[in-house]
Structure 1
Amino acid sequence: MEGSIFYWICWSFWVYLTFFLKKQNPYRLKLAAAILLVIILSPTHYKLGNIEIYASGVFILSLTFIMISKEKLRAIIYYFICSYIMGIAYVTFHLFEIFDPIWIIIKKEWMMGILLGYLAIILQKTLRGRLLIVINGTMQGEFLYAFILNKYHFPYSIGALAYLDVCTLISFLLVGWSFFENAGAIFQNHFNFTEKAKQKSS
């Protein structure tokens, strides 16, 4: 069912941010509000010519542009290069799916999530950067893919639940990868803290 991955992951993130993350975290409320808005906007759509566009996709694309615009010029250029690469990869996957679907050996969402997630890890070092290029690049890819299909009179909805499934799955995989990347440092800090506590108590 389209949208099931999106709703499960988004609601899980929202619950974590709202009830479990420390209130001192500066990103807590902003992220929770953004996720809630994406969920609320997900059914809303409008038509631009022959192309159907979902408001949630436009919303997250706008957010990424705002966040990228706050970076330094060199970083902005690199973000857009990475987003372009991500967008081309996204469109290429979809086109291969149409013309040669036999190579899709596992469920499409998972295959795309793993491939694009891996690409994001290669292109960016931080979780924030990876999420930005994934969302920005794939949404731009949505527009390009819709434009290509529209030339051949195939209907396609930009930013629909099928897209949100893929986008949230990639984000989930990247968050998981980031946790494992930082797990060593987290455990080391915890170990050092417990060692110091033992020394003080003795």
Structure 2
Amino acid sequence: MEEFYYYWSMWFLWVLTTFILEKNKTRFFTSAFILLNIILSMYHVRLVLFFNAAYLLFYAGAYMLGGYAAIHKNMRCLLLHLSMVFAYGFLFLFALYDPVWFILKPEWLIIILFVIMTAAFEKSFVNRLALFVLGMCQGELLYSLIIRKLYDGMVVGGYSWLSMCSAGIVLLYGVSQYERLVHQIHQKWKRLNKGATKMS
């Protein structure tokens, strides 16, 4: 079931980038990234811990995107990023030791929390995306390092994490598009009001 969310989310994003976004280099690289991510999701790499190869690709992509957006130079972004990392680790550890407190699954709580945090503090979709994926990646790494003695052979960034990350990206994109639509409607409404005022 975990694979279901991941593959559907990634295929949705691939269709979106391939057929809907305007033709440019960004579209090409994004489409290639998504396809490569889907292919790599079946492979694991051992670097002290076992890592899903798609997770490592997400991690590398998020670092590149973060560098492009220069979020490392923004103190607010750094604080937000650290908050997300520790929130991820705390929520999953809390769910591990005392799961009865959770009405929703911790995975969905993390997605909702991270989307709200990034959408509330950042206006740029690129910044939001970089912070979201970096927070997810480093939060997963922190959590895995803490519990690795409890679970032998655990995989960092397994299908559960991939499903969360991809679903969160879809949700983040949806939020950004909704904001864009609201802004466009607001601008048109202002123009209509100005026109009505001039006519009167």
TM bucket (normalised to shorter chain) is 0.7 to 0.9
Consecutive unaligned residues of structure 2, counting only runs of 5 or more, are: 192-200
Q: 1:72 to 1:42 in 2, by over 3 A?
A: closer
Is the partner of 2:172 in helix, strand or coil?
helix
Moved more, 116-125 or 65-74: 65-74
Moved more, 183-192 or 149-158: 183-192
Q: Which residue of 1 aligns with 2:13?
A: 13
2:62 paired with 1:89: no
Residue 104 of structure 1 contacts residue 111 of structure 1 at CA under 8 Å; is this kept in 2?
Answer: no
Q: Which residue of 2 aligns with 1:46?
A: 45
Residue 124 of structure 1 contacts residue 130 of structure 1 at CA under 8 Å; is this kept in 2?
Answer: yes
Q: 1:90 to 1:74 in 2, by over 3 A?
A: closer
| TM-score of the aligned structures, taking structure 1 as reference length | 0.83
Moved more, 145-154 or 126-135: 145-154
Residue 116 of structure 1 contacts residue 134 of structure 1 at CA under 8 Å; is this kept in 2?
Answer: yes
User: 2: CA distance between counterparts of 1:57 and 1:138?
Assistant: 10
Q: Which residue of 2 aligns with 1:198?
A: none
Is the partner of 2:104 in helix, strand or coil?
coil
Deviations 1:1-43 (A, max 9, x none): 11211110110111121123232x4521121111111111111
User: 1: CA distance between counterparts of 2:71 and 2:176?
Assistant: 26
1:151-190 map, 5 Å: 151-153=149-151, 155-187=153-185
Moved more, 11-20 or 180-189: 180-189
Q: 1:74 to 1:165 in 2, by over 3 A?
A: closer
| TM-score of the aligned structures, taking structure 2 as reference length | 0.84
**Aligned-pair CA distance for 1:154:** 5.0
**Aligned-pair CA distance for 1:111:** 2.2
User: 1: CA distance between counterparts of 2:182 and 2:95?
Assistant: 38
Identity %: 30
Say which of 115, 118, 122 aligns to 1:117.
Answer: 115
User: 2: CA distance between counterparts of 1:32 and 1:112?
Assistant: 26
**Aligned-pair CA distance for 1:189:** 6.2
Q: Which residue of 2 aligns with 1:64?
A: 62
Is the partner of 2:22 in helix, strand or coil?
coil
Is the partner of 2:113 in helix, strand or coil?
helix
Q: Which residue of 2 aligns with 1:197?
A: none
User: 2: CA distance between counterparts of 1:151 and 1:77?
Assistant: 34
User: 2: CA distance between counterparts of 1:17 and 1:71?
Assistant: 20
Give the letter for the 2:32 counterpart: A
Query: What's the C-alpha RMSD, in Å, of the aligned pairs?
Result: 2.5
